[in-house]
Amino acid sequence: MRKISIYTLFYKSIYSFKDLAKFRFLDIGKTIKYVFILATIYFAPAIIKLLLIDRDFSQLSTNFDKGSLAIIVPIYLIFTYVLYSGLLFIKISFIALIALLFAKGLKRALPYRNAWRLTAFSITLPTILFGFFPLFNIEIPYGILYDFAISIIYIVLAISKMPRVKK
């Protein structure tokens, strides 16, 4: 399980609930690396839209000339990426707590560390979907609720593929 590539993790975390359940045993380092790559994929459409499509720096450029913008825009992008990554880690941590409740209800043994890893891979599809929607100017009302709902559905389906606790 350790020699699995990030691309395979990404691909299988979208469609295979059985593999998703197995991913809970991966190293935390590989999981964190995956989350940062997922954050990059989530952040890329925002960068594309800001730099290539909109080119709207009006909220940044009120008191700055072009030379200052060359310094401020990269700092702004780095800060925003760190913010996106932090929010993604908080989202994973919160949904992992919910996953513990579902695991208990489905009578499966799932410690928090494994729930966190499982959640990190379960949020792949909704994170990619809701990351790319702004690029195509698609606005979904209450999108964050759909995001959480899809993540929870993925987690429940993955937990159901785990073996039951033996008494």
pLDDT tens for the chain, 167 residues long, are: 568 888 999 999 999 989 999 999 999 999 999 999 999 999 998 888 877 777 666 666 666 677 777 788 788 889 999 999 999 999 999 999 999 999 999 999 999 999 999 999 999 999 999 989 888 888 889 989 999 999 999 999 999 999 887 76
pLDDT of residue 1: 59
pLDDT of residue 154: 95
**CA-to-CA distance for 50 and 158, rounded, in angstroms?**
36
- Helix 112-122 to helix 66-105 angle (10° resolution) is 120
Contacts of residue 162, Cβ cutoff 8 Å, sequence gap at least 6: 21, 103, 108, 109, 110
pLDDT of residue 29: 92
Nearest residue to 33 via CA among 84, 89, 75: 89
Calculate ∠ Cα 91-95-96, nearest 5°.
115
pLDDT of residue 163: 85
pLDDT of residue 112: 95
pLDDT of residue 115: 95
Q: Is 65 exposed, middle or buried (0-12, 13-18, 19+ CB in 10 A)?
A: exposed
**CA-to-CA distance for 76 and 60, rounded, in angstroms?**
9
pLDDT of residue 58: 63
